[in-house]
Structure 1
Amino acid sequence: MLNVLIVGGGPIDLAQLKSEMASKPELIIAADRGGSYLWEIGAFPHVLLGDFDSLSKTVLSEMKAANVGIQVFSPKKDFTDLELALDLAIKRGVDSIRILGGLGNRLDHTLGNIGLLLRPLALGIETHLLDEYHDIVLIKDAIKLKRKPGWAVSLIPLSQKVTGITTTGLLYPLTQAELYLHSARGIHNELTGESAYIKVDEGILIVVCFREKY
């Protein structure tokens, strides 16, 4: 399996980045400032791409010296650096993608990055958008969640309607239920055991696992 870690330019907890690196992803792609985060922990990506408007010359020079694959794009482009990184990962024929630095205090970037997850979803590539407080994934069929102490889960429709939602292992179960974009019914649920299972028949569901106590 080809597992990919994408390191974006949004806020990143370096301890979490070290943890992700410890899992030894087969492909590491840094988008612009994401290269700086890796450099701070003494690591290098396989590919560094972007317009480099937020990457220091020192870091860029060290990346080149380490024979990192560099892809330079014009600042005047129709795609964000994270989108370019995601496209590259998809073209490599990956099996799973984990993205750090795609959430933060820019709501427009956060919403846009959640939308980007539709692209790998259409190809059957499970893709997680992460920070130290959230683990976000889109599903159109099913997913198994593992319990993490202190974490909860919300189910939010991305399409106008998601039908045939059935869950097991959640405190508030759903059986062939429907969730609507204009309703907050799926907000906040909890795992009752070590794992939970969520299945949908039609539509796209945002599964948001989140840490309840920061």
Structure 2
Amino acid sequence: MNIDFDCVIVANGLFPSREEILIYLSEVPALVACDGAAESLLSRGFKPTAIVGDLDSLPEEIRYSSVCEVRYSEEQMTNDLTKAVHFAHEKGYKRILILGATGLREDHTLGNISLLTSYIDLFEQVEMMSDFGVFIPMKTSRTFKSQKGQQISIFCITPQVEVTTTGLRWEVTNRRFESWWQGTLNEAIGTEFTISVEGEALLVIYKAFVDCK
């Protein structure tokens, strides 16, 4: 398997179960756990290279062990996922995959999805994956690979920006998405699709896995 990422960050949401996702946890060069996810990783046999957060969810036997680097941050204006992302940036990683950031509490899920757009400028590539699909943030016009029939949703964080699509079943031309639901539940008609915006925008594109319609 070709590993496209040099760092995986695992948050304390729904732990992935798809085999093709779990491979990343054992093959990626760096595995960073938000403090609440460290125990889940270790119990499944995955050893993180670092644990980052305010450590309020980290058992003491892990906190004071020598299993890996532990980075404590008492900052309360950001969540543990963002602390882990900034840690990865400081370490020089370029291609980031975030796991375990969705599922369980819906408020955490929505917050983590919206945070993706604030990570764009820190890395060459950043994606968030679950058992059901992948979220990809974007700022400028971009073409995405797809499969025919793949379910696609567009979430616009900057509603004042006009969006145009090509390669989707229900095309959009110079439309402003004023609510998150308005760009959802579209479908790819081929092997790629393009999202075009004027200037810079903040969008999150969701591509469902083809077996999760």
The two structures share one fold, judged by TM-score above 0.5: yes
Code of the residue aligned with 2:205 in structure 1: it is V
The residue that corresponds to 2:24 in the other structure is: 20
| Pairwise CA distance, 1:104 | 1.6
What secondary structure sits across from 2:187 in the alignment? coil
Q: 1:184 to 1:78 in 2, by over 3 A?
A: closer
Superposition TM-score, scaled by structure 1 size: 0.80
Where does structure 1 lack aligned partners over 5 or more consecutive residues? none
Query: Which digits, 9 at most, give the CA deviation of each residue in 1:123-167, with x for residues without a partner?
Result: 464321221123112211133333358741111211122225232
Whether the 8 Å contact between 1:159 and 1:204 is mirrored in structure 2 is yes
Alignment partners' CA distance in 1, 2:95 and 2:141: 15
Superposition TM-score, scaled by structure 2 size: 0.81
What secondary structure sits across from 2:33 in the alignment? strand
Instruction: Using the aligned pairs only, state the percent identity.
Output: 25
Q: 1:209 to 1:53 in 2, by over 3 A?
A: same
> Is 1:195 the equivalent of 2:192?
yes
**1:54-133 aligned within 5 A:** 54-60=57-63, 64-66=65-67, 68-74=68-74, 77-123=76-122, 125-133=124-132
Alignment partners' CA distance in 2, 1:48 and 1:30: 5
Alignment partners' CA distance in 2, 1:45 and 1:183: 34
Alignment partners' CA distance in 2, 1:119 and 1:213: 27
Q: 1:179 to 1:59 in 2, by over 3 A?
A: same
| Pairwise CA distance, 1:96 | 2.0
Code of the residue aligned with 1:181 in structure 2: it is E
* Larger CA deviation: 84-93 vs 190-199: 190-199
Where in structure 1 do 4 or more consecutive aligned residues deviate above 6 Å? Answer: none
Alignment partners' CA distance in 1, 2:148 and 2:38: 31
Where does structure 2 lack aligned partners over 5 or more consecutive residues? none
Alignment partners' CA distance in 1, 2:7 and 2:60: 26
